[in-house]
A and B are shown apart, each in its own frame.
Chain A
Amino acid sequence: MATEQASVSVPHARGSSRLREWQATLVSLLYLLPSLVAFSVFVFYPVVKSLWISLHADNPFGGTSDIYVGLDQYKNALSSPDYRNALKVTILYTLYTVPIGLLIALTLAVMANLRLRAISIFRVAFAITIGVSVAAGAVIFALLYNPSTGVLNYFLTRLGLPSVQWLTHTNTALWAIAIGTIWLGLGFNFTILLSGLQGIPEELYESARIDGAGGGRMFFNVTLPLLSPTLFFVSVISVIAAFQSFAQIDVLTKGGPAGSTNVVVYSIYRDAFFNFHSAYASAQAVILFIILLILTGIQFKSLEGRVFYQ
């Protein structure tokens, strides 16, 4: 409305400001162009293509075919006991890794945020797994879990506990991988949480102290609420990462024993690149994507009210 009125009194200015606006938009799009091109080729096109593949038949000679089969691949996946097992394993794996990983990282971050001499040494130690790739970390865990000479079993027996068939028993294999994953993720979670803690203004602690708040009350009334956006961010990232874990499973168990570590991502990989069922694998991927979207939505909904923004 405002521009409409202005244009009546100064008709000339309208045309040139419009031109300038278009020019600004055009220049802005040039800034976005490199990213937009890359996203189009390697993100948006593949998503559409995956949907397309998943609605078509598999080509028994590899690659994809153009025989439309509707939702058959999805029905096959959802009714297959293997895929249901993979979904169950994925959810269990997420439940094993995310809450424990967050809790340990938070404890470490709170400790490392104290003003102590030489604290920076501990900070480097707690962040160290950022520098450890998943593949290298998994190979080290293979050594620790080794059934005959493994150190973990040695510690257990020294404590008078029975030794565990870490990677070779269906009851323990998923836990074994989860423990390695928690360790690998600690550095990143710790670093983000520590930076969140450092973003909390010192004055808030001081005024709480003047009000007579003790360490515990300070943590629950000042630290946790102010850290909640960071905790929320880390929890969303961790769930997404858990749903995409691949290298540790490929290195340590290859989905075994008896499918007990066969997460959906591994099942997709086997079906797409070994069994040449690209369409079936694409349907599995789309189902996983939808589940992930719903889970993230639930996370946003349930935590949103509790997250405190300054």
Chain B
Amino acid sequence: MSGSPNTRLLRKALLYVLLGAAALAILFPLLYALTVSFMTPDEAARFPPKFIPSGLYLDNYRTVLERLPIPRYILNSFIVSGCVMLAQLVTASLAAYAFAVREFRGRTTLFIIFLSTLMIPWEVTVIPNYQTILQWGWKDTYIGLIAPFVATGFGTFLLRQFFLTIPKELHDAATLDGCGSLRYLLTIVIPLSRPALGTLGVYSFLQTWNQYLWPLLVTDSKNMRTSQIGIAFLRTEESISYNLIMAGVVLVLVPTIALLIIGQRQLIRGLTAGSVKG
């Protein structure tokens, strides 16, 4: 930046105004949902719309929690997302380790097969998968929600890229010291790869948390619904007013937004690390 101190200051102020305006525009839908969730039914239905509620009207939260088992929905989402995340971390670490560190016949072919799964959209797989889950009696169960997603081509690719950045000499030295290949993975590769594992963890957790069509198809009972389905049904099924719906939306959003705020720096760092070596 050049120019006199005054123009530099002006430029900086202008940048902050731009940043602030962009942040406000992006946050507006969320902030508005939050304020509506504290409005009385009367306030929420008013036009011109109110932006600030007259007080913290907590009845919305009470009512919506009475009408729907929202904590149960959130718990279901946590169980399913947590299990998918753990499973993906395990399967992807094992596969990425084989692709990045080990040498074996057919490695390239198998790697291409793994990558090809990224190209296949779920529209093509959803009907047979639904039939499989029905046949195995997994409808309306956690395992039915989890099983189709335990492996990940994207995650394997991401971790492989990171594992490749670990110096090969480390592997040679460890092997000379008599370190077995699984022990090398567990004691050297995994601890060194925390940023990449963190990125994959956050990514797969959020991805599963956001799932909509699959839980819509394989859950029937109210108690097995995930939070996304619960929140969509809140709008389409029950004819209730927006202040209540937004209370439900806020309850469902809190865990993931908190996770994002905590994990964002990690996410960026992990992605940067993953993209350094191609």
Contact = CB atoms under 8 A, between A and B. Distances in A.
B174 interface: no
Nearest to A149: B47
Contacts of A34: 90-91, 94-95, 150-151
| Main SS class of interface, A | helix
Given A35-B95, A53-B128, A251 B27 contact: no
B204 to A, nearest CB: 13
Contacts of B55: none
Contact of B125 (A46, A150, A246, A273): A46
A213 B103 CA distance: 46
Contact of A35 (B19, B91, B129): B91
B127 A140 contact: no
A31 B15 contact: no
B128 A50 contact: yes
Contacts of B278: 229, 309-310
A125 B26 contact: yes
A146 B33 CA distance: 13
Contacts of B49: 149-151, 154
Given A131-B260, A134-B212, A139-B249, A116 B12 contact: yes
A285 to B, nearest CB: 4
Nearest to A42: B148
Interface in B1-41: 12, 15-16, 18-19, 22-23, 26-27, 29-30, 32-33, 36
A174 interface: no
A128 B228 contact: no
Interface string B111-149: 001100101111111111111100000000000000111
A198 B117 contact: no
Interface of B: 12, 15-16, 18-19, 22-23, 26-27, 29-30, 32-33, 36, 44-49, 90-92, 94-95, 97-98, 102-107, 110, 113-114, 117, 119-132, 147-153, 156, 181, 206, 209-210, 212-213, 216-217, 227-229, 231-232, 234-236, 242, 245-246, 249, 252-253, 256-261, 264-265, 267-269, 271-272, 275-276, 278
